[in-house]
Structures are given as structure tokens and as C-alpha cells.
Copies of this chain bind each other. A is one copy, B any other.
Amino acid sequence: MATHGTAGAPPPLTITNVTLDGTPTALRCVDGVIVALGTEVVAQPGDEIVDGAGMAVLPGLVNAHTHAAMTLLRGYGDDLPLMEWLQTRIWPAEASLEPDDVYWGTRLATIEMLRSGTTAFVDMYWHGPSVARAVADSGMRATVSSVFIDGGDAARGASQRAAVLDDLDAISSFGPLVTASLGPHAVYTVSPESLEWMGTVVAERDLAVHIHLSETEGEVHDCVAAHGVRPPALVDRCGLLGPTTVCAHGNWFDHDELDLMAARGVTVATNPVSNLKLATGRIFDHPEARRRGVHVGLGTDGTASNNSLDLLDDVKVFALWHKQAAGDPAVLPADEALAVASGACSPLLGGGPLSVGGRADLVLIRTDTVEMTPSPLPAALVYGATGHLVDTAVVAGRVVMANREVPGTEEVLDEVRRRAARLRKH
């Protein structure tokens, strides 16, 4: 079985000799929270000590939309037209997925995320409780949903409701770093009756929601044809747009829909790399959304459509796309782009500047490297580097990666290779 590096409470942690925003500092974490930060901080007896010489400390990044276990299907059908890819590769393979496949695929994703600076993620995939188990074993923080699809068949949707509630309970059992979420896949795969039922569940239980919304132009046209309204209006009247909702993509939102997202307090997860790879035609208008007060996060999407989980790679594409789209190199500067990737532009994602009293989710990044010389942060990180400069990852005050080593990696690689080979036979 996997290494369970997360049993028991971690000891207090002191990190010395790091820089924060270019200034030498140290920090101390107790019970998952930063309790001291500054040049005066010293370790107490019994503390675990990490020497951060040659490194900068940053908030851990937050992957706002992914399907982690799709590492199993990474590179399976790249460069195919969308429907051929789904029909001949992804859907047949997913039909054979077993819960333990999802566990190991998610484990691999957590290793890749930690090694590239991500400490928390928002997930949607089959077998949510297996995702949650992998998250718990990784020591990461995540919002986990089981994907819900009824193919537009309300009766089929109704028959799945008990299983959804069971999944929510099972996901919630995996400790304080795992948040259960409803996962209606999209308006084109879930009946309005099921969406309405989910709206009542959200209202009763104050649950999180994770849904794909307005990813493609076809989705918008089909929704209008079938339901007489565009996707945001449909999910809003079902009660699914609120401050605990993450809408993935939003590429085809118009200005009124951006205002709706702002009014409801929704977080939109933009996934520019996936959108470019699948040629969605448009990408979420981040600058306009921010002008209108929409909360935003940055996602990689699943590795079947990216094929990386390295947010420090995607954050560059994110910034560059919007500079070009606006015709202005000053648009979406490095500090703003990195803030979005850190979850700092969404109360739901909960990242933000490191501060006393804040959660101790952070990463140490090597700054004494070829790629970071002689450029200052944050531009060095956004434009000049990718995630391989991340050395150490801390989640809720626990060191879950040191020296780029995540316990159990070899076992995870072996399991994923074996399971991926089986799935790809179908």
C-alpha cells in the first residue's frame, strides 16, 4: 500500500533562511497555521526545522479545476478531433475504470502537483471517495466531487441520487483537508431535474458545487435550443450558482453572464492550456471578468487535455494569452497572474499572501538557479521558470515534499503504468 505520510498531527515547523518578496525571513507553523513570520522568528525545542537557504517561500498554488486521475489517460489520443478522441479513446477507457484505478491515478497527480508547487486542488472525477482517499494519503488539500451524469434522463438521474449522497458522506470522512462537493458534469450531460435536485441539496447542506459551464460554443447553442436559456441562466435557476460554486471554463460567457457570476459570488476556473489544446475558439475573458468583480482561479484541467499539471507552466500561457488578446503587453502582469494561480483572487480557493494567522500551505522555490538568474520574482517564476524549481511543499503545516522527493513515488509509478496499460486496451 501507499506510504501514509499524513498520520497523526505534525510537529511545529520552523522554516529558516528563506526570502519572502525578496526579503530574508523565517516562519513558524503550528496546528496548520502560520504563527510567526519575520527576521526575529526562531525555532522552539521540538520543532521540525527546514533550512530554506537559496530559496524563496511562496503560497502554495491552487489548481482550480482538474480531473486528477486522468493521469491514467495522459497522452492517449493527443491531436485527435474532439469527438473522435472522446468516442474512441476516453469514454471506452473510462467505462473500465475501477475505484482503485482512480486512487492510483490521483496519487500520481498529487505527486506531480506537489513537485510543481500546487498544494490544493478542485477535482471532479468518477469514484470520488477513491479520489478523497488519495488526497488524504498525499497530505494535500482538495475539494472532491464525484462526477454526476444522467445523459439528460431525469429518471436515470433520480436513481443515482442515493449514491450521490453516499459519496458525499464517504468523501467527507477523509479528514479536514478534504471538502466534499457536488459534481454535476455540465448542462449538456445532466437533466434540469437533476440540476434542480442538486440545488436543493446545496441549499440544505451548504455544499460546494463544481460544474463545467460554457466551455464550447456548441454547448451554448444546444442549451438555448433545448432549454430556451443559455447555460448560466439554466444553472442559476436551479440554485447552483453561489459563493461555494466553481464553474470551470466560462469561455463563452457574455458580459451579462460575467455580472451574474460576480453577483452570485461564483468562482470561475479558467483553463487556458486545455482550451487552446482542444481549440475551444474562445478563452474566458479574465481581464473583463476582473473589471466586473468576478472571483477567479487557474486550472490545468485533466492531463488528458493538457497534458501537464504544472501550474507554473500554465500561468505563463495564461498571462501571455491575455496580453496578445488585448494587444497590450502590460495586461495581466506577472504579480496578478501568480496571485490567480495562488488562489488569492477567490475567497473560496482561499489562497493569498502568507501571513500570521493564515493557513500554512506554502512552497519553497530555488532562486539560485540558471533559469532565475538574474531576474527578480515574481516575473522570474511566471515567465522564466516552470515547476521543477519547487523544492519543498508544506500543507497545513506538514512537510509533504522535501528535496523534490514525495514518499511512495516508485510504487505509484508502477501501479499507474500497469493500470494505464490495461485501460488502454479497450
Residues of chain B lying within 8 A (CB to CB) of residue A283: 324
Closest beta carbon of chain B to A82's beta carbon, Å: 6
A373 adjacent to B324 (CB under 8 Å)? no
Stretch at the interface among A33-41, A167-175, A381-389: A381-389
Given B108, B111, B307, B329, which contacts A383 in the complex, CB threshold below 8 Å? B307
A370 adjacent to B115 (CB under 8 Å)? yes
B279 adjacent to A374 (CB under 8 Å)? no
**For the complex formed by this chain, how many copies does it contain in all?**
2
Q: A334-B79, A383-B308, A386-B386 are in contact. Are A279 and B370 (CB under 8 A)?
A: no
Interface status of A8 (Cβ within 8 A of chain B): no
Residues of chain B lying within 8 A (CB to CB) of residue A385: 308
Q: A324-B275, A379-B75 are in contact. Are A373 and B416 (CB under 8 A)?
A: yes
A280 adjacent to B324 (CB under 8 Å)? yes
A413 adjacent to B373 (CB under 8 Å)? yes
Residue of A75, A276, A374, A388 most packed against chain B (CB within 10 A): A374
B384 adjacent to A75 (CB under 8 Å)? yes
Residue of B nearest to A383 (CB): B307
A373 adjacent to B320 (CB under 8 Å)? no
Q: Kindly state the separation between the CA atoms of A278 and B324 in the bound complex, as whole angstroms.
A: 7
Interface status of A197 (Cβ within 8 A of chain B): no
A323 adjacent to B375 (CB under 8 Å)? no
A306 adjacent to B383 (CB under 8 Å)? yes
Residue of A76, A310, A368, A384 most packed against chain B (CB within 10 A): A384
Residue of B nearest to A331 (CB): B279
**A 66-81 to B, binary, CB cutoff 8 A, 1 in contact else 0:** 0000011011101111
A371 adjacent to B112 (CB under 8 Å)? yes
**A 97-118 to B, binary, CB cutoff 8 A, 1 in contact else 0:** 0000000000010011001000
Interface status of A327 (Cβ within 8 A of chain B): yes
Interface status of A355 (Cβ within 8 A of chain B): no
Q: Kindly state the separation between the CA atoms of A308 and B82 in the bound complex, as whole angstroms.
A: 31
Q: A371-B308, A380-B307 are in contact. Are A78 and B333 (CB under 8 A)?
A: yes
A303 adjacent to B75 (CB under 8 Å)? no
Interface status of A281 (Cβ within 8 A of chain B): yes
The residues in A between 371 and 422 inclusive whose CB is less than 8 angstroms from any CB of B are: 371, 373-376, 379-380, 383-386, 388, 409, 413, 416-417, 420-421
Residue of B nearest to A75 (CB): B375
Closest beta carbon of chain B to A283's beta carbon, Å: 8
Given B277, B323, B329, B333, which contacts A320 in the complex, CB threshold below 8 Å? B277
CB<8 Å pairs between A and B, sample of 21: A74-B384, A78-B333, A78-B334, A78-B383, A80-B329, A81-B328, A108-B370, A108-B373, A111-B370, A115-B370, A275-B324, A278-B323, A279-B327, A279-B328, A303-B384, A307-B375, A307-B379, A307-B383, A307-B384, A308-B384, A374-B417
